[in-house]
Chains A and B, each alone.
Chain A
Amino acid sequence: MAKKFLSGNEAFAEGIRLARPQVISAYPITPQTIVVERLSEMVEAGSLRSEFIHVESEHSALSCAMGASSVGARAFTATSSQGLLYMAECLTYASGGRFPIVMMNANRSTALPWNIYGDQRDSISQLDCGWIQAYAADAQEALDLALMSYRIAERKEVSTPFMANLDGFVLTHTYEVVDVPEEEQADRFLPKFETDNKLDLEHPRNLAFSAGPAHNTAFKYKEHVGLCNAKAAIKETEAEFAKVFGRQYPGLIEEYRTEDAEYILITLGSIAGLAKETVDRLRKEGQRVGLVRIRYLRPFPNEEIAKAVSSAKAVAVLEKDISFGNEGTVYTNVNSALHKAGLSIPSSNYIGGLGGRNISGEEIEGIFGELKEHRAKITFLGIGGDGK
């Protein structure tokens, strides 16, 4: 492995280079642009042998990736924000067609007001479209997710597209030290893509077809099973990854100092770094606080979250998302997990970082402080109100 000083976007591009997709179709959009630029430079320089297709829109980018996947090629695309929304129609085509495409999404706010900065409303608005959704916390995890994503998505019992999310700017544009694996290691970890789900003259079959009321539920059921199967696939892939690269990832969630924690913050993405530092600071003062970082929003870690917080007095969900007229969507999902596990732990919801607004360590400390009041409430960080 070689240590390099890379941004999140560059690290992800290195991971994709090592994954050797045969087709890359993409349309640039801030803050994803650097990924596409780096990959096009690699193709130009010959360090990545891939068909790079600069399409005219995000709708075409994903349609093109689907076309590639349907003849058995490994395909990659990347987008962000309005680009993701523009390709929304194709998201369900890709998942329903069971095409294991990998897409990087640079998390960015959605208009209006127009804003290029990071929040997670873009990807979270597409939670129901049948894609695996992972959230990286740093550049190393971004690179490693790029490699693991294909191995998870391409497993026959999964056959589901994979969206790897990187917080716009704070992760995509921040430089840090990253271990870049050797090609030989990556090849050992990630075998060539083989699938029966392709157009093949020797074995003619129909792909991407219609299914009426009689059969539609069965297809949707299988799609659901495929996404649920990703849970075991993620675990097994991470174990294999650790064997080859020496880095062990913790599955659908990462627990930090939760063993004896009375108050637990649940969050996702790169804000977890600051949350960990805040937990350490409060622990030094004798406060029993901990952190759960959700790494995968789909498949959703219902059992894992319930188990991690089962002894807590109260939990808070901090997310860069709001489902207008209700609450943060991650909060809805977490509460459902707690309810299904028979846990009646008070929970609160903090909406922060919208449109790239900074979340400070003091604000995270304030969340832990408020949790002791055991009140279920929704708070917009920086505004304080719940909007009701």
Chain B
Amino acid sequence: MIEILWYGRGGQGAFTAARLLGAAFSLRGGTNYALAFPSFGPERRGAPIRAFTKLDTKPIGNRSEIAKADYIIFLDDTLFTEKTYRDLKPGGRILLNTKKEVSDDRIVAFDGDALAEEILRRPITNTIMLGAFAAVSGTVSLKNIEEAIRGSMPAKLQERNISAVQAAAKAVEGGRADETVLA
């Protein structure tokens, strides 16, 4: 199972990204399964939230929050702390949307805000970080993400967000993200 933990603030769309990833992975058919859910409870714009995506090639019975993640994705770097490493599986990666320089092999850092401003014209980085995840992990293809976006986002948002996913994938790893691999 691959477990992805998302950090964002209410209104940034972290749960939408968690859900799009689950849909992209599992709607391809075959024996792919996914669960996606937000941290439960009252929601407030601006307040820290977490969201969860679990991906596997068999049905997933465990509906609990993720304790140790393969990937931890931050839409907002003010939520990142040293404690984050405790939630990471050995060999796991952190994807960080930040303008800062980061030198840590476990962290893939890039300026998602700048890309978002350029493509979406607003500082919303959820699909940006989803594209970055696809490129870094190779777990889900950009084509499947595109299908998930077309299947569940309002029509007027689709093209821009598909462009955002593609641009982010290119930005972090030169665009190589067509293989779907699950250990």
Contact residues of A with B, CB < 8 Å? 3-5, 31, 116-117, 169-171, 173-177, 270-277, 356, 358-361
Cβ of B61 and Cβ of A276 under 8 Å apart?
yes
Cβ of B38 and Cβ of A173 under 8 Å apart?
yes
Cβ of A274 and Cβ of B26 under 8 Å apart?
no
- Bound CA span A222–B158, Å: 57
B23, B34, B42, B64: the one within 8 Å of A358 (CB)? B64
Cβ of B22 and Cβ of A175 under 8 Å apart?
yes
Q: A3-B29, A117-B40 are in contact. Are A174 and B62 (CB under 8 A)?
A: no
* Contact partners of A4 in chain B: CB under 8 A: 27, 151
Q: Is B169 an interface residue (CB 8 A)?
A: no
Q: Is B33 an interface residue (CB 8 A)?
A: yes
- Bound CA span A298–B19, Å: 35
Q: Contact flags (1/0) for B35-55 with A, using CB distance below 8 Å? A: 111101110000000000000
* Contact partners of A358 in chain B: CB under 8 A: 64-65
Cβ of B62 and Cβ of A277 under 8 Å apart?
yes
Cβ of A5 and Cβ of B23 under 8 Å apart?
yes
Cβ of B27 and Cβ of A173 under 8 Å apart?
no
Contact residues of B with A, CB < 8 Å? 19, 22-23, 26-27, 29, 33-38, 40-42, 59-65, 148, 151-152
* Contact partners of B42 in chain A: CB under 8 A: 116
Cβ of A177 and Cβ of B38 under 8 Å apart?
no
User: B38 to nearest A CB, angstroms?
Assistant: 7
User: B2 to nearest A CB, angstroms?
Assistant: 15
* Contact partners of B65 in chain A: CB under 8 A: 358
* Contact partners of B152 in chain A: CB under 8 A: 5
Cβ of B62 and Cβ of A173 under 8 Å apart?
no
Chain A to chain B contacts (Cβ below 8 Å), 30 pairs: A5-B19, A5-B22, A5-B148, A5-B152, A116-B42, A117-B41, A169-B37, A170-B37, A171-B63, A173-B37, A173-B40, A174-B36, A174-B63, A175-B23, A175-B34, A175-B36, A175-B37, A176-B36, A176-B60, A177-B26, A177-B34, A271-B63, A272-B61, A273-B59, A273-B62, A274-B61, A274-B62, A358-B65, A359-B64, A360-B64
- Bound CA span A72–B17, Å: 45
* Contact partners of B22 in chain A: CB under 8 A: 5, 175-176
* Contact partners of B60 in chain A: CB under 8 A: 176, 273
Residue in B closest to A168 when the chains form the complex, CB atoms:
B40
User: A79 to nearest B CB, angstroms?
Assistant: 19
Cβ of A3 and Cβ of B35 under 8 Å apart?
no
B33, B40, B41: the one within 8 Å of A177 (CB)? B33
Cβ of B61 and Cβ of A277 under 8 Å apart?
yes
Cβ of B61 and Cβ of A176 under 8 Å apart?
no
* Contact partners of B33 in chain A: CB under 8 A: 176-177
